[in-house]
Homo-oligomer: A and B are copies of this chain.
């Protein structure tokens, strides 16, 4: 298992819909929270990557498999890891579940992944600068393609 982080959040009323559960698009917002947290743990701030290096992680694909509904006020844990990375793209993997403290015990809410390409401010694809290689595990046995 690759290095993974766990971000925690509490379901907002705004995130529910009239079915009484979380609206499905919000899981992608939560994945974003997960990967920002992973970046922080890997040694950089995604905000600075944009601001200082002019590198953006443009989403090329997102996929989510919904396993159990999340509900208002649930505490959600977003586990995130680098599934695959190279000089042209990175894929993050996610597992979302309720926290152990949840009355019903920890339930897996969803699993999924997002694939990103590196682009400049004007959306031209660029190779990932070397300083980020080790952080994404590029050039190590674990994740190189």
Q: List A residues at the B interface (Cβ < 8 Å).
A: 12-14, 16-21, 23-26, 28-29, 32-33, 36, 45-47, 56, 58-66, 69, 72-73, 114, 123
8 closest A-B pairs (Cβ-Cβ)?
A25-B28, A16-B18, A47-B73, A24-B59, A63-B63, A25-B25, A14-B29, A18-B20
Tell me if A's interface is mostly helix, strand, loop or mixed. Answer: mixed
Q: What's the minimum C-beta distance from A10 to chain B, rounded to whole angstroms?
A: 8
A45 to B64, CA, bound (A): 26
**Which residue of chain B lies nearest to A14 when distances are taken between CB atoms in the complex?**
B29
Q: Are B29 and A12 in contact (CB under 8 A)?
A: yes
A19 to B17, CA, bound (A): 8
Q: What's the minimum C-beta distance from A53 to chain B, rounded to whole angstroms?
A: 14
Residues of B near A16 (CB, < 8 A) are: 17-18
Q: What's the minimum C-beta distance from A22 to chain B, rounded to whole angstroms?
A: 9
The listed residue (B23, B36, B61, B64) touching A66 by CB distance below 8 A is: B61
Q: Are A29 and B25 in contact (CB under 8 A)?
A: yes
A83 to B45, CA, bound (A): 38
Residues of B near A60 (CB, < 8 A) are: 65-66
Residues of B near A64 (CB, < 8 A) are: 61-63
Q: Are B61 and A73 in contact (CB under 8 A)?
A: no
